[in-house]
A and B are shown apart, each in its own frame.
Chain A
Amino acid sequence: MADTLKLEIVTPESKIYSEDVEMVTLPGSEGEAGIYPNHVPLMTQVQAGEIVVNRGGTEEVVAIGEGFAEITGEHVAILTDNAANSADIDEAAAEEAKAKAEQRLEEGGDVSEEDAKALTQAILYSQAQIKAKRRKRG
């Protein structure tokens, strides 16, 4: 019986994470989901947010944009547009992106429903980046 999961996070530009881990918590479409080894095979949408990884007794945080996860008993593969390891996150840039998205959302007006959804996802992603960074520091 496998006691670790292979976690892979891929974006169109690179593979940003590929490790054997003990547990993964990811923001699924129906709320947070904690994935342990031998999980039932599952395909799910993931929301923008943070993925918490337990690896070798330590906790790592990766911020991701919206995407998809393929989960089997042995591995978790996450397909997403954006992802950032906490070490690579530029907190100031994330703050700025978040402020910009929030401002556009508040102005409302000619923002279509689609745009609003995209903006909300952008805000969530920025938030996750900021949180991941702070946690790493603290």
Chain B
Amino acid sequence: MPSTREIRRRIVSVKKTAQITSAMEKVAQAKMARAQQAALAGRPYAELMNRVLGEVVSHAGDFDHPFMKARSGENRALILVTTDKGMCGSINSNLLRKVTDEFVTDHTRMIAAGRKGAQHASRVGWDLAAEFPYSDTPVFSEARAIARMAVELFENAEVDHVDIAFTNFVNTITQKPEVQTLLPITEIKGVQAGVEGEEMATELLGGTAEFLFEPSAGGVLGALLPHYINFQVHQILLEAKASEFSSKMVAMKNATDNANDLIKDLTLEFNKMRQAAITNELLEITTAQMALGN
């Protein structure tokens, strides 16, 4: 049976834990909002890119670009977007499980974005080609570095297929692990900006005005495709960050609730014990008095 002092000490320590987790919850909430905002800030860019792509695609005719050629080889690269830190619920393990079950073969090279993915890769012996850091509010140059690496592998024919695995932000409570194909580009779709399901028009616009192209429609498209990939990676990083922080928010909220429950239980026990001690003491006094009175 622990003494009252021990229980009091535990209450103090659990209170401190609750304070920390609730602070972390608020930080995660703020960071999630920031990631969402950053994703929305890319919307004008996405709209313009869709317009340019639309014009170019409708004018380029039979266009052939190395990025668009499907190859039959089985060497693949997988960009694994995970978090750097833990304490964010199960999103990393969910993603890694999905990837392990469905995608990893002996011919898969890993490009890790985020430390957790890299750690897992080296633990289970995956072929880790590179590891990239990305910050809490991902900037475009970080996405560009990752995309460059993937494109280089593809261009040098070291891999024939590039996928990207990340946690899709469905809403604050739900995040879903997902894998998308980055290369080859089988179909040029409109890009999308913003993390949540609120749809923006993603169809390619175009064919309205007769544009001149400098140097040529094909040339512009060829130069545009790398930017198209960069932007996709950038949006995916933002999405992954929003997922990370919303998952962290929920995990920290649960931790805070648990700590508060624990404090309630401990306080109850503490009071019971204190009461028992007082009763005991009273008993002793009365017995002593009765003994004296006799």
Contacts and interface: CB of A to CB of B under 8 A. Distances in A.
A99 interface: no
Contacts of A29: 214-215
Contacts, number: 78
A81 interface: yes
Given A41-B209, A43-B212, A44-B214, A13 B139 contact: yes
A81 B230 contact: yes
Contacts of A13: 38, 41-42, 139-140
B223 A68 contact: yes
Interface stretch (B13-21, B43-51, B122-130): B43-51
Interface string B208-234: 011111110101100110010011001
Contact of B52 (A12, A14, A28, A68): A68
B220 A70 contact: no
Given A68-B223, A79-B52, A42 B44 contact: no
Interface in B78-113: none
B48 A79 contact: yes
Interface residues of B, number: 32
A30 interface: yes
Given A11-B140, A81-B227, A43 B55 contact: yes
Contact of B224 (A15, A42, A68): A68
A14 B41 contact: yes
Contacts of B38: 13
Interface residues of A, number: 24
Nearest to A79: B48
Residue from the set A42, A70, A72 with the largest chain B CB neighbour count within 10 Å: A70
A42 B211 contact: yes
- The B contact surface, by secondary structure, is helix
A67 B227 contact: yes
B56 interface: yes
A43 B56 contact: yes
A40 B214 CA distance: 12
A121 to B, nearest CB: 12
Interface string A69-84: 0101000010101000
A8 interface: yes
B144 interface: yes
A10 interface: yes
B219 A45 contact: yes
Nearest to B223: A45
A81 B140 contact: yes
A30 B220 contact: no
16 contacts: A8-B48, A12-B42, A12-B45, A12-B234, A15-B41, A15-B44, A29-B214, A41-B211, A43-B52, A43-B55, A43-B214, A44-B220, A45-B219, A45-B223, A70-B52, A77-B51
Given A15-B44, A41-B211, A79-B52, 20 more contacts: A8-B44, A10-B45, A12-B143, A13-B41, A13-B140, A15-B41, A29-B214, A42-B212, A42-B214, A43-B212, A44-B220, A45-B220, A45-B223, A67-B227, A68-B223, A70-B52, A70-B211, A81-B144, A81-B230, A114-B152
